[in-house]
Structure 1
Amino acid sequence: MSALDKNQQDQLMQDQQYDQQKRQSTSDNIDYTMENTSINNKNDSQQQQEEDVNMNGIITTTSVSSPTHSSFSRKSESSHSSHTTTSTTNNNKRPQQNDHDYRQRMTYSESDQELYIRSLSESLMIHKEIVERIEYEKEQYMEMVERERKLEREAAKATTMALEEQQREYERLQLTYQHVLNEMEKRKQEYQRMESNYYSHVRQIRATDDDLSTIQSEISHLFSQVGNLCMGLRSKADREAGTAFIMERWADKQETIRDQLLKEGEETLDTGYIGLFIEKYIVEVILDSLLRKPLQPGVSINDAYQQVEEWFFKRNPEWATRLRQQASALVAKQPEDEEESIAQAKQKIVQSVLETIGRVCPKIKGDLNQEKKVSNIIHRAAKLNLAIKGQELPVETKPIEEGVIDFDGDCMKAASKGKAEGTVLLVITPAFAATDPNDAEHGFLVPAKVLCV
């Protein structure tokens, strides 16, 4: 029961106690009034009896005296008539006075009775009103309690119905969820089977097991290895020979190099810049002799395959892609008589690089350690070439026009001797990108390494 119901019950009990006390007081007043009325009535009765006795005595006395004095009265009737009248009048004065007092007392007694009766009636009316008010308040309270109980029952019924409905909905959703789980499990198993078949099929086509993520990582590691090699060659570089090699190989940039990289009053480049140009040279060799070859250096059908691929690509790009994948897979897995020519071609590239570096750094000539480093780079680039050609998406370099394009942090990173702003003077390593026209998230971008001034 709520706090409001308790307060109403307490108020009702207080009203009942108050009414009971008032009824008790009224009852006591009524008893007191009745007792006084009884006493007054008794006194009036006694007084009335006394008056009656007195009146009887007077009457008796008169009756007895009349015979004794009858003759005298008769004889003296005429002469004493006035005296008799006077005597009679005097004898009747007392009864008349008593009667007046009696009537006055009776009047007082009747007034008291009327007052008592009126007081009693008023008390009864008050008691009746109190009882009626209590009954009315009780009925109102009971109606209110009944309404509240009815509302509570309706709310409980509605809550129960809602709970049952939610339970039924929960059970339905649970069954649906279980059905979806079973369906997902079936589809997952089917997807795994299809994926296994797909990778099995792709492995038969691709030259290596690499995908775009491993190719992206391999490109970064390869050119990082080239940068480390050239970093170590700076201390061994001949500034005059290095400057001469640079001016000879990039003759179209001689004026820019002299204006931007040579210090005032000097004719030779700093070894730091010479190291960057050596790195640029090795990257260009990797691009031209390996990554941009139709298949692989040393393969006898490179030129013929280039013509066939172009012919396929004009008519059906998807078939051209499949042809590229299958040809690369054959070169990687079944080179047969082409294997020796491929190895000779790679070794030729290594010797060419060592010879050029030897012109700039005479101290490394005959250094087997340096030869091993260059050989590892070339063989790693050749493997990367087969992995790239085995992908469905082409992996291409993004063109950056030197001396025109400004530095872009989204697709470029600054070389150690340059700054991350201004115009791009040299592209040391180009940006590599693989883009899927149907899915923007499927692909990658390896930023270019540039020298800005």
Structure 2
Amino acid sequence: MTDSRAYTRSTQSHNANGDTPPIPPPHDLELSVKAPVPKATRSMQRSKTVRNLENAGNKMRGLFKKQMTRDADSNKPEAAATPAREVPSASSAGTGTRPSFATASSYGPGMFQEPVMASEDSKRPLSYNVDRYEHAFRSHPDEPSMTSLPSPETDKVVPPVSQSPTSTNDKPQDDELGADSPEVEELKRELEKVNEAIERARQETTAEAERKQELQNEFEEARRNCQAREMEYTQIEHSFFEHTRAVRATDDDLSTIRDSFKLLKYSVTRMIMTLNKKADKAKATEKLVAMWPSLAVVEPNTELEPPQINLLSEKLIHEHLVHAIFRCPIYPGLPINDAFSSLSRWLVEHESKFSVRLRQQMAAIVAKSAKDSELQLAAQAEKRRIVDKIYNDVAEIYHPFILENDAVVDEEKRYSSKIADIVDKAMKLAVAMRGQEVDISMLDIEEGKEKFDEETMVDVKGKTTGIVRLCICPAFVGRDGEHGFVEKGKVVIGG
């Protein structure tokens, strides 16, 4: 007890002089330890060491300040149950000697010296204790610090004191208060709305995906059906072409027939142009006026000019072709032409469509008949008759040039051969016309009375208005409601 009182007085003397060294933070249970007796060491710079210790003390006080406040209430019952350790006071000090501190057993023997008197302790410099602690730490760096040594009474480390129930229950109460606040409720409602929107979007996405799959399946099914229909259509088209090929007399259609008409008219015009200015005006005028007396093609006691003779000669050839070939019911030279004409009119009057099929079938028979058959022999005889008639009329107009020319040139260059080629083209065109579903017929033009019509006529000089004076070649038309065919006629407008 004497040593303890002396140590207390020494401590009070240091406090009175204002040279208090850094004090470790207080704890609930003070550890009774003996301070090691420092050995002689090198001096340290006081300012740096004291500054470091002050900083460490400030940090430790700040660290344990809140914990000490919170543990105040919880430590009171423990302090009441446990008898407080007797702390020596200054009044109980007997002698002036300083007691020795108990230390851990890890500090080896020989580290401590005899207790120092309080009077001597007060005379030591302020850095004495600092040097003493540093010397102990450098000598035994692996030893635990004095502040963490166990108590000699219990020899156990005091566990950290937990927070009081009051302090631990503050946060849940704050959380409960925060959970019931309007802001939290509003955020919860917004979160619920967002979740509902997400759920709706997810459902819509799923529905759209299912709808897409359904549409994809429908599309695939429609494509398969379309492909199947296309195959069926191709087969039907092939069958139709095979059927119509069997019915049609030739492979011609309306477009090829139109081209054949143009080629025929061009052949006639080209042959007449080779006879330009080769005609005897007197004989040509007499011949042509006799053929069309009502047209008044020339003034009395006057002769026709070469251009007029050429146009009238071309008109003459086309009229022979129209009357002998194109107006023929089936084909020139057939003995059944008149019978077919009567039967066809009867079928049309009774609104029967069989007349078209009958006409096509008859034309097919003519086209597919052999060249040495009776039918073709009769057609060839009629062809020679038509060629001779046209040749004689043209030779009379262009007398004597045609006869003299044909007498000296080769057969293919003779005008008789040219006229035969024109007649042959006209007969082939007639067979192609009879083999079509559309009934192609001639459109009569009344000369001297009918006005010019751009849809069915074309003037030789390009006029577009006036009265038709001459019809060189009639128009050919064919209409059945679905198809249309027009080959314009060649006319001369008066003026």
How far the C-alpha of 1:164 sits from its partner, in A, is 5.2
Corresponding residue for residue 319 of structure 1? 354
How far the C-alpha of 1:384 sits from its partner, in A, is 0.8
Matches within 5 A, 1:53-132: none
- Does 2:408 correspond to 1:364? no
* From 395, 407, 421, the counterpart of 2:440: 395
One-letter amino acid of the counterpart of residue 390, structure 2:
V
Residues 161 and 310 from structure 1, CA distance in 2 versus in 1: closer, same or farther, beyond 3 angstroms? Answer: same
Distance in 1, Cα, partners of 2:194 & 2:276: 92
How far the C-alpha of 1:310 sits from its partner, in A, is 2.9
Distance in 2, Cα, partners of 1:412 & 1:152: 80
> Which residues of structure 1 form unaligned runs of 5+?
1-138
- Does 2:477 correspond to 1:421? no
Corresponding residue for residue 340 of structure 1? 377
Residues 404 and 156 from structure 1, CA distance in 2 versus in 1: closer, same or farther, beyond 3 angstroms? Answer: farther
- Does 2:282 correspond to 1:237? no
- Does 2:478 correspond to 1:434? yes
DSSP-derived class of the 2:276 partner: helix
Deviations 1:368-392 (A, max 9, x none): 4222221111111101111111122
Distance in 2, Cα, partners of 1:422 & 1:163: 75
Corresponding residue for residue 450 of structure 1? 491
Residues 168 and 376 from structure 1, CA distance in 2 versus in 1: closer, same or farther, beyond 3 angstroms? Answer: farther
How far the C-alpha of 1:231 sits from its partner, in A, is 2.7
Residues 406 and 313 from structure 1, CA distance in 2 versus in 1: closer, same or farther, beyond 3 angstroms? Answer: closer
- Does 2:259 correspond to 1:221? no
Residues 315 and 238 from structure 1, CA distance in 2 versus in 1: closer, same or farther, beyond 3 angstroms? Answer: same
How far the C-alpha of 1:452 sits from its partner, in A, is 0.5
Residues 253 and 182 from structure 1, CA distance in 2 versus in 1: closer, same or farther, beyond 3 angstroms? Answer: same
Cα RMSD after superposing both structures: 3.1
Residues 280 and 172 from structure 1, CA distance in 2 versus in 1: closer, same or farther, beyond 3 angstroms? Answer: farther
Corresponding residue for residue 299 of structure 1? 334
One-letter amino acid of the counterpart of residue 293, structure 1:
C
- Does 2:309 correspond to 1:269? no
* From 446, 450, 453, the counterpart of 1:408: 453
Count, aligned residues: 305
Residues 290 and 150 from structure 1, CA distance in 2 versus in 1: closer, same or farther, beyond 3 angstroms? Answer: farther
The answer to whether the Cα contact below 8 Å between 2:268 and 2:314 also exists between their aligned partners in 1 is yes
DSSP-derived class of the 2:446 partner: coil
The answer to whether the Cα contact below 8 Å between 2:295 and 2:448 also exists between their aligned partners in 1 is no
Residues 154 and 249 from structure 1, CA distance in 2 versus in 1: closer, same or farther, beyond 3 angstroms? Answer: farther
TM-score by length of structure 1 reads: 0.60
One-letter amino acid of the counterpart of residue 412, structure 1:
M
Distance in 1, Cα, partners of 2:422 & 2:475: 18
One-letter amino acid of the counterpart of residue 356, structure 1:
D
> Which residues of structure 2 form unaligned runs of 5+?
1-181
Q: Which has the larger helix fraction?
A: 1
Residues 380 and 165 from structure 1, CA distance in 2 versus in 1: closer, same or farther, beyond 3 angstroms? Answer: farther
Taking only the aligned residue pairs, the percentage that are identical comes to 30
Residues 165 and 320 from structure 1, CA distance in 2 versus in 1: closer, same or farther, beyond 3 angstroms? Answer: same
Deviations 1:141-190 (A, max 9, x none): x989x97x999888777766666555444433333232222222222222
* From 335, 351, 355, the counterpart of 2:388: 351
How far the C-alpha of 1:303 sits from its partner, in A, is 2.3
Deviations 1:17-63 (A, max 9, x none): xxxxxxxxxxxxxxxxxxxxxxxxxxxxxxxxxxxxxxxxxxxxxxx
Corresponding residue for residue 186 of structure 1? 228
How far the C-alpha of 1:342 sits from its partner, in A, is 0.9
One-letter amino acid of the counterpart of residue 452, structure 1:
I
Distance in 2, Cα, partners of 1:232 & 1:207: 35
DSSP-derived class of the 1:444 partner: strand
Distance in 2, Cα, partners of 1:309 & 1:447: 26
